[in-house]
A and B are shown apart, each in its own frame.
Chain A
């Protein structure tokens, strides 16, 4: 059962095509992640689904209601955390929560149990001005405010951008708890490592979804054979590889160089080893590995740029 249906959605601003033929469904109780760099169209999509921006064409239904006709009813059923800090910096933590509850004509007490895992961490700061909170704490308060009326759907536009890795992990643990209340979550992020926690993912590139699938299926569909090489001369090797004419793709990944071969892999690997020897590159290890999502996305983005440019 789907709680959001989007069909052939298009949005442009003057000459700029922000979204092109976007279609997808959000199933009840799932966490659906949208990943893409700044400028890919993430916030435009969220603003449309939050009923704040009208699309140029396409059909959107939220909880069975038509976005164009029933936007006022839809607003009561969704919680929205925009990409920019949207709380009142000159109200305290508690005042912000009360304000959002009042706007949705909801009491705090009814849903306190649900937001408690997050709210508990904010209680020591409840009389502090929201503008004086750290980045991670601001996002937790924003999440409480978006949840306080127990929405059916939660729209989170880049809730963890600029937040440090530990706070980011805590935030995703909270999302898993929210999901357990049957709330469906649509969440965007520029961080590749976060999306493994989603049930399904869409990769947004220049306003188009270039893949929609589960994380495990995306990894299964990876086309090349991926190898990891560990060497102390990583960036020197990268410069040398600019002249390497073989059909393979390569890029640094942390301490490693990742290389993907596509045809006659055994021979291609031998030729690559010869190339390393000829250039006197010493390496600690060189072996086949299972790709992770970032490898898959790099390949998908490269392919999409070949098609559209």
Chain B
């Protein structure tokens, strides 16, 4: 079963084509890596899939809903986390979770139970009343991911979630991703770390608005006759 089905999706800004006729599917519970150079069109494509930007042409079904006519339902079924903004610094850990859960209309009793469950899993129960501004970046990123899952979305979009964190936290973060995927959440992730691309079940590479390549990391390396994902990336992005 596919939770993401994209067909001939195109976005033009004036005469500039940011996303050029891309098509692909992502399965339920799959970890899908969305790679590409800066300016390749990744963010534009992601914004369209989240229902934040209308495509110029083409269509998509996200979590079973049509991108153009049902974007409100899509927003209820997806979670989103970016490196730049994820949590409010001047709220406590628990307040942040309450806020996001309430925005998604999780019933209060249910929300309290979920928050307790998530905080226990993260080992943060004893810190729940601490301001987010006072906790280390590594905790913040794990907390932001956990918060993006509170309303039990079918898909989570992660935009460079591990930029700037240390190599140990980066690996802890990936363990959380695997747990969520094992529970059936589809993971759609962008990263500039090429070793992380290997953790994905399938990856795609975008360059200049085109989707150049899609497949499992191992198959793609064999198909292109290279040894590393980095070589694969360089091959398509070289200007």
Contact = CB atoms under 8 A, between A and B. Distances in A.
B163 A166 contact: no
A235 B175 contact: yes
Contacts of B116: none
Size class of the contact patch on chain A:
20 to 34
A251 B217 contact: no
Interface of B: 36-40, 136-138, 160, 163-169, 171, 174-175, 178, 192-195, 198-199, 217-218, 229-230, 233-234, 237-239
B230 to A, nearest CB: 6
A253 interface: yes
A50 to B, nearest CB: 21
Nearest to B160: A162
B137 A37 contact: yes
Contacts of B194: 165, 254
14 contacts: A37-B166, A39-B137, A162-B38, A162-B192, A166-B37, A166-B237, A166-B238, A167-B37, A191-B193, A235-B175, A254-B199, A297-B167, A301-B167, A302-B168
Contacts of A135: 38-39
Contact of A301 (B136, B166, B175): B166
A87 to B, nearest CB: 16
Nearest to B228: A254
Contact of B136 (A39, A134, A234): A39
A251 B167 CA distance: 10
A37 B238 contact: no
Contact of A252 (B163, B199, B239): B199
B195 A166 contact: no
Interface string A232-256: 0011001000000000000111110
A230 to B, nearest CB: 10
A11 B27 CA distance: 50
B163 A136 contact: no
Contacts of A165: 192, 194, 230, 233-234, 237
A291 to B, nearest CB: 13
In the complex, the 4 A-B pairs of residues with the closest C-beta atoms, listed nearest first: A37-B166, A38-B164, A254-B198, A135-B38
Contact of B164 (A37, A297, A302): A37
Contacts of A192: 167
A39 B169 CA distance: 13
A38 B233 contact: no
Contacts of A294: 167
A252 B171 contact: yes
A161 interface: yes
A252 B164 contact: no
Nearest to A256: B198
A38 B137 contact: yes
Contacts of B40: 164
Contacts of A163: 38, 192
A176 to B, nearest CB: 18
A298 interface: yes
A46 to B, nearest CB: 15
A176 B23 CA distance: 41
Contacts of A39: 136-137
Interface in A39-80: 39-40
B192 A164 contact: yes
A131 interface: no
B143 to A, nearest CB: 15
Given A36-B166, A252-B199, 14 more contacts: A134-B39, A135-B39, A162-B192, A163-B38, A164-B40, A165-B194, A165-B230, A166-B239, A168-B192, A169-B234, A190-B163, A234-B199, A238-B175, A254-B229
Max chain A CB contacts within 10 Å: which of B39, B164, B168, B169? B164
A37 B169 contact: yes
Contacts of B218: 255
Max chain B CB contacts within 10 Å: which of A38, A134, A238? A38
Nearest to A295: B167
Contacts of A238: 175
